[in-house]
Amino acid sequence: MSTATLPPEEIVQRHARRNFLLNVLDGGAFFFGLSMVSRYTVLPLLVERLSGERWMQGLIPTIMYAGWFLPSLLMAPIVAARARRKPMLMGATLFERLPFLVLGLILLLAPDTPPAILLTLFMGLYIIHAFAAGVAGIPWQDFISRIIPQRRWGIFFGTQSGLGGALGVGGAAIATFILATQPFPQSIGMLSLFCFAAMVVSFCFLAGTIEPAMPPGERQTIGVFLRSIGPLLRRDTDFRWYLISRAAISLGLAGHSFLTAAALERFDLPDADVGTFTAVLLGAQAVANFGLGALADRWGHKQVLVFSAGIGLAALVIGVVAPTSAWYVPIFILVGAAQAGYQLSGFTLVLGFAPPAERAIYIGVANSVLAPLAVAGPLLCGWFAAITSYESLFVALTLIGIAGILSLQLRVRVPLAR
């Protein structure tokens, strides 16, 4: 019997090892590329050097979250009505990668461009990257849930992100060397081109994945999908409380995007130190992903999310009291571990709440509900830091994050495997 005539479940089982390996390598190469232009360290350095305005640091996470969440309003019903996710995913992710090629060429070939223009070009390209990631996000998450058996989600996401983090340590070492030896902004231009090269390799691994066609869901218009959000949240109270809890945790952890700017402002650090912070963060992410992925399959993704949020808030508290720049090494260790757990279990829990036929819809609802806070939150954080201080911001976000942890622990029951 040819593969084309096999039932979808048999195709998934036949290609399980191949798909697992290729998608681990895809994620590893992709994260390796991003490690050289980290949005927690390298990109804040770019914005800091081009504009010292505190509120502008909030644009980086705002653009990233807006791009990730807002396209869900359009993508969820479109994805659910298709038999395959891969063709849409491949098209969208091209535009996720190309902005780094353009940014690298601009910074290398026109480094004397006025800072305001460079900053505007960077923000425009980052918007394209972020929104392309959002368009690719729902088909990618549902794609993975189809080709990787549910019992292996934890170990898959942990292994994929762990490999990315391990490779990212090498990427951070490259970033440290380039930032220390090359002038600004050519240094970041070179890193952007290295990022794009790694993403090309990642794209090739993704292209080799085998996805079977499955019966498509019911076609919905955007209006029907939007009207379905309210009834779904009223019906599934645990999912509703999960989204409330995750929103508070997400806002608390948004403070991580301001840690590099706070360190640069307080201690007048050289650019090379930012590369060191990146290496520490990604090394911690790698170790945490391998451990937390396996732990989540045994302990539960809810508990991993609670633990990760707790250590992420601890990083903000240490950022308030840190007397020297050396303290930022353990701070970024905590940030790396926290972000690993938040991404691993935060996304995977959504898949666990949803019946298989409704996963694209649940992902879309989650992203749509979280979008307003994700977009406005970092900007509000930047505004708050501008009128007070980074330290005051970290204290406020810690309190919000603690409320989210308590809500998740006390109000959310996670369904058994479906």
pLDDT-derived band at 1, boundaries 50, 70, 90: very low
pLDDT-derived band at 101, boundaries 50, 70, 90: very high
Alpha-carbon gap, residue 137 to 362, rounded angstroms: 13
Of 15-29, 51-65, 70-84, 173-187, least confident by mean pLDDT is 70-84
pLDDT at position 144, please? 79
**Could you give the percent of the chain with pLDDT greater than 90?**
21
Mean pLDDT for 388-408 is 93
pLDDT-derived band at 85, boundaries 50, 70, 90: confident
Q: Find out whether 360 and 76 touch, Cβ atoms under 8 Å.
A: yes
- Whole-model pTM: value is 0.67
- Residue 418 CB burial class (10 angstroms; 0-12, 13-18, ≥19): exposed
pLDDT-derived band at 416, boundaries 50, 70, 90: low
pLDDT at position 361, please? 73
DSSP secondary structure string for all residues of 90-142: HHHHHHHHHHHHHHHHHHHH-TTS-HHHHHHHHHHHHHHHHHHHHHHHHHHHH
pLDDT above 90: residue 208 = no
Mean pLDDT for 119-125 is 92
**What are 21-71's pLDDT values in tens digits?**
888 898 889 988 988 888 777 888 888 888 767 777 777 878 887 787 777
Of 58-62, 200-204, 368-372, the range with the highest mean pLDDT is 200-204
pLDDT at position 129, please? 93
Average pLDDT, the chain: 82
pLDDT-derived band at 417, boundaries 50, 70, 90: very low
**What are 242-289's pLDDT values in tens digits?**
899 998 998 999 888 888 888 888 887 777 777 788 778 878 877 887
Q: Find out whether 171 and 36 touch, Cβ atoms under 8 Å.
A: yes
pLDDT at position 418, please? 44
Report the alpha-carbon angle 201-203-206, nearest 5: 115
Of 6-10, 144-148, 293-297, the range with the highest mean pLDDT is 144-148
Q: Find out whether 93 and 136 touch, Cβ atoms under 8 Å.
A: yes
How far, in Å, are 220, 243, 361, 401, 410 from residue 77 at the CA level? 6, 20, 7, 32, 32
Spatial CA neighbour of 362 closest among 214, 268, 236, 222: 236
pLDDT at position 4, please? 52
**What are 334-351's pLDDT values in tens digits?**
998 898 888 878 777 877
pLDDT at position 191, please? 94
Alpha-carbon gap, residue 94 to 96, rounded angstroms: 5
**What are 144-161's pLDDT values in tens digits?**
777 777 667 667 777 787
pLDDT at position 90, please? 82
Of 71-80, 84-93, 98-107, 247-256, the range with the highest mean pLDDT is 98-107
Q: What are phi and psi of 219, to 5 degrees?
A: -70, 135
Alpha-carbon gap, residue 281 to 38, rounded angstroms: 10
pLDDT-derived band at 300, boundaries 50, 70, 90: confident
pLDDT-derived band at 2, boundaries 50, 70, 90: very low
